[in-house]
Structure 1
Amino acid sequence: MTLAGVISLALTVSLFVLVFVLGMKAKLEEITFLFRNPGLLIRSILAMNVIMLAVVVLASQLFDLAPAIKIALVTLAVSPVPPLLPGKQIASGGTPHYALGLLVAASIVSIVLVPLSIETMEYAFPVELRIAPSKVLSVVALSIFAPLALGMIVQWLAPNIAERVAKPLSSAATAIVVVAIIPILIKGWPDLSNLFGNGAVLCLVLFSASGLLIGHLIGGPNADDRTVLALACGSRHPSIALAITALNFPGVPGVAALILYHLVISGLVSALYLRWIKPPTQSPSAN
């Protein structure tokens, strides 16, 4: 196996483990939360996949963006929640039932919504676009449904073991993700650097910032729910965006690099957002 294959496998396994850990902590009522709250579900999907997509299409029509930038932004806008996000949402004060419920609900909805959105994009872009529902299903099944279900099974059969191993597994998997993604980002840097003059990085920053703003405004009166939806709108599942790109634009350089660097940029922009909504508390000065 080549080094690239080892890195890809390590990243896939570590992401699988992180969602598996979520499953070991999750409750069934959390997983199904949004399906019992259809109003919040509709509002969440509207913010993530309809309003964000409309913003991207409008920007693509108004500004002379490079083709790679347009493709990357559109594929990100139609993609669901990334597997890493619920842990971050919960750690940032988001409600667990909404964070986990959104991960599951957005993934299920994406099986139909992603192909439908891609076909709709043919009216905005003069190219034939496609992705089969089975392709979306395979990605979300392997990266979300399977590890989440396995984690819940372990929690049900051996709750004490699940409680003991959850934290060390999560720490190890997170470390592997960081180590594995660095060479991928380095490899994609030449393609990304060639797009600097076209405003590629600025577009990724604005994409994440727009998502955070839209999610914050639509998230409702509960501050913790606003945090969950804002982070979900600003961060997307890279594997589905890459799958759409591979099927429709295999010869366009720079798209994959933009999608991968979105992970880093969205993380930085999200950190600024979290600092804004929850500034660090100052310790009282000594008398």
Structure 2
Amino acid sequence: MTLAQLIPLAISFSMAGLLLAIALETSFTDLVYLLRRPSLLLRSVLAMNVIMPLFAIALALVFLQELERAVVVSLVAMSLGPVPPILPGKGLKAGGPRSYTMGLVFLSAALSIVLVPAMVALLGYALHKPVRISTATIAGIVGTWMLLPLLLGAALRHVAPSFAQRAARPLTIASNLLLLLACIPVVVQAGPKMLELVGNFTVVAVIVFTLAGLGIGHMLGGPDPDERTVLALSTCTRHPAVAIAVLHAEPDRPSILAALLLILIVGSIVSAPYMKWRAAQQADALRASKHA
């Protein structure tokens, strides 16, 4: 196996490891939390799988003449996928409730098996350019690298809670380290192409995309401020592997990879102040409740 084949595999294993680590502290009840909250489930699907993709299409049309094709299609593709494995940790740090955070990760992954191919087909029909991605392809990605680690972690917590508690932190550290090491050569290789894409309103479009996702999720998150935080972060950030699968037929793969990395990097920078603000608000609320 070559290094070029090992790096994507290492990234996939590291992301699965992050999910497994969080799932070791998650119950099966948490994973199906949204099934007991149909209103929140509906609002979550509406934000992530309806409004955000429509906004991404509108944004792509607005900037169509200014942006490279790779950026345009990557923005749309990134709006279709489930919650990425790195987001649960961010959501929990920002004060998000574990039940909703993990329930959204689990159900967004499961629903994406049906919703992503359906949305891709609808987009192809609307653009008069038939585009297809099989349900089996999406099921293979989210089933192997998302649903399996989540179910395995919850099962280990159920049958061996003390082991699960001890293993969670070391696995998180190891997975983060592996992800960092695996991403370095990817960023180095894609760096020149990323720099080529910067300009012509590319960064502006990504900032607008991220801010819109935060706003849509925040507004539809409901009265609970912590659930608002989780949905906001989940709406603006999606799984890159699913986006890559959606764009499998694009001929310029290096530009697609560079565009997706640029969206992830700029999106992380733009959403960081929101995370800090929500974490500070939660801390203020906790202090106020203690003094009440």
Q: What TM-score, normalized to structure 2?
A: 0.90
Measured after TM superposition, the shift of residue 13 of structure 1 is 1.6
Measured after TM superposition, the shift of residue 175 of structure 1 is 1.8
1:261 aligned partner, one-letter code: L
Give the secondary structure class of the aligned counterpart of 1:197: coil
Q: Is residue 143 from structure 1 mapped to residue 148 from structure 2 by the alignment?
A: no
Give the secondary structure class of the aligned counterpart of 1:93: coil
Contact kept in structure 2, 1:34 and 1:40, CA below 8 Å: yes
Q: Percent identity over the alignment? A: 37
Measured after TM superposition, the shift of residue 61 of structure 1 is 2.2
1:46 aligned partner, one-letter code: L
Q: Is residue 254 from structure 1 mapped to residue 239 from structure 2 by the alignment?
A: no
1:222-273 C-alpha deviation (Å, 9 max, x unpaired): 1100100000011100000001111x31336512211123222222122111
Contact kept in structure 2, 1:192 and 1:200, CA below 8 Å: no
Counterpart for residue 129 of structure 1: 131
Measured after TM superposition, the shift of residue 202 of structure 1 is 2.4
For structure 1, list consecutive stretches of 5 or more residues without a partner in the other structure: 283-287
Q: Is residue 32 from structure 1 mapped to residue 21 from structure 2 by the alignment?
A: no
RMSD of aligned residue pairs (Cα, Å) = 1.8
- Measure, in 1, the Cα distance between the counterparts of 2:126 and 2:253: 18
Measured after TM superposition, the shift of residue 2 of structure 1 is 2.4
- Measure, in 1, the Cα distance between the counterparts of 2:254 and 2:24: 40
Measured after TM superposition, the shift of residue 210 of structure 1 is 1.1
- Measure, in 1, the Cα distance between the counterparts of 2:129 and 2:257: 19
Structure 1 residue runs of 4+, over 6 Å off?
Answer: none
**66-75 or 96-105: which moved more?**
66-75
Counterpart for residue 19 of structure 2: 19
Counterpart for residue 285 of structure 1: none
Contact kept in structure 2, 1:185 and 1:261, CA below 8 Å: no
1:77-134 C-alpha deviation (Å, 9 max, x unpaired): 1111111211221121001110000011111111111111111112443422111111
Counterpart for residue 266 of structure 2: 265
Q: Is residue 231 from structure 1 mapped to residue 233 from structure 2 by the alignment?
A: yes
Note closer, same or farther for the CA distance 1:155–1:122 as it changes in structure 2 (3 Å cut). same
Measured after TM superposition, the shift of residue 72 of structure 1 is 0.2
- Measure, in 1, the Cα distance between the counterparts of 2:60 and 2:272: 27
2:41 aligned partner, one-letter code: L
**110-119 or 13-22: which moved more?**
13-22
- Measure, in 1, the Cα distance between the counterparts of 2:272 and 2:61: 30
Q: What TM-score, normalized to structure 1?
A: 0.92
Contact kept in structure 1, 2:190 and 2:254, CA below 8 Å: no
2:84 aligned partner, one-letter code: P
Counterpart for residue 289 of structure 2: none
Counterpart for residue 107 of structure 2: 105
1:172-225 C-alpha deviation (Å, 9 max, x unpaired): 211221221122112112222222233222222221111011111111111100
Identify the match of residue 94 of structure 1 among 90, 93, 96: 96
Aligned residues, how many? 281
Measured after TM superposition, the shift of residue 157 of structure 1 is 2.5
2:18 aligned partner, one-letter code: L
- Measure, in 2, the Cα distance between the counterparts of 1:188 and 1:199: 19
Give the secondary structure class of the aligned counterpart of 1:241: helix
